[in-house]
Amino acid sequence: MPYKRPGAAPGRLALVQAFVNTRDIDLDTDELTSPAGVRDWLTQQGLGFVRAPVDGADLSAAVAVREALRELLVANGDERAPSGGALEVLNDAAARAQLTTVFSAGSAGRLSPRAAGVPGALGELLAIVFSAMAEGTWPRLKACRNDTCRWAFYDHSRNRSGAWCTMSVCGSQMKARAYRQRRRAGGEGKPREREERDVTRPR
Ligand SMILES: [Zn+2]
């Protein structure tokens, strides 16, 4: 599915972005809820050879890799190291894919999966992540800071300061939330506390 929202990642990194965005937390939709769903999505993206039967283990692996990638994107946004658990999931998936260095005449070396099926297709996605890390584009792929959104977006801002998938939706939502929290924490919060008590107290 082509990526339509603003903040599309360049080149093949858009595939990784689209993979993370197969789950829309905000709309509560998910394209990867069955083995067939996993096979169809990966095949549509031209990721590897997925004619082999796809089973529940493949579905679990795909979802685990997707959510581990999302954790890396949250970490990119927060400029912190990702959790050890997420890295372990990705390292295991890379091992199952048998990612191998391939040198060829006239082009730079690259990683390529030896495994077929879903493990190989997930390996192709991880190879794209690896290249993006090497090329320096990876830190710009982030998950929206709004924890009810977490949409993967590419930060095109000059100083790499983008935090939300869309400023008009999540950015303003989060700013309003921060404003309310500040009001509650500060002296201005008192009238609100009174309001809340008036609502909950029996009359
Ligand atoms: Zn968002």
- Ordered by start, the domain boundaries in the chain are 13-165
Query: For the chain, what is the largest distance between any 2 Cα atoms, rounded to a whole number of angstroms?
Result: 82
Compute how many other C-beta atoms are within 10 angstroms of the C-beta atom of residue 77: 20
pLDDT for 176? 77
CA angle 54, 57, 60 (to 5 degrees): 110
Band of pLDDT at residue 49, cut at 50, 70 and 90? low
| H-only helix segments in the chain | 13-20, 35-44, 56-78, 84-97, 117-135, 172-185, 190-200
Distance 74 CA to ligand 1 centre (A): 12
Kindly report whether the global pTM for this prediction surpasses the value 0.75.
yes
Distance 84 CA to ligand 1 centre (A): 25
pLDDT for 82? 97
Return the closest-CA partner of residue 32 out of 14, 54, 2, 6: 54
Distance 68 CA to ligand 1 centre (A): 18
Residue 199 φ/ψ region, left for φ over 0, alpha for ψ in the -120 to 50 degree band, beta for the rest:
alpha
Distance 125 CA to ligand 1 centre (A): 23
Q: What is the rounded average pLDDT of the residues 100-118?
A: 91
Band of pLDDT at residue 5, cut at 50, 70 and 90? low
Interval 175-203: pLDDT, tens: 777 778 888 887 544 443 333 333 333 33
Distance 151 CA to ligand 1 centre (A): 5
Distance 188 CA to ligand 1 centre (A): 28
Distance 203 CA to ligand 1 centre (A): 41
Distance 55 CA to ligand 1 centre (A): 32
Q: What is the rounded average pLDDT of the residues 97-117?
A: 92
Amino acid occupying residue 108: A
pLDDT for 53? 85
Interval 64-78: pLDDT, tens: 999 999 999 999 999
Distance 146 CA to ligand 1 centre (A): 5
Residue 68 φ/ψ region, left for φ over 0, alpha for ψ in the -120 to 50 degree band, beta for the rest:
alpha
Distance 29 CA to ligand 1 centre (A): 15
Amino acid occupying residue 85: G
Interval 143-154: pLDDT, tens: 999 999 999 999
pLDDT for 198? 33
Q: What is the mean pLDDT of the chain?
A: 86
Place of tokens 């493949």: 58
Distance 111 CA to ligand 1 centre (A): 32
pLDDT for 199? 34
C-beta of residue 20 within 8 angstroms of C-beta of residue 66? yes
Q: Indicate the CATH number for domain 13-165.
A: 1.10.3300
Show the tokens assigned to 45.
């993206």
C-beta of residue 47 within 8 angstroms of C-beta of residue 124? yes
Show the tokens assigned to 183.
């009001």
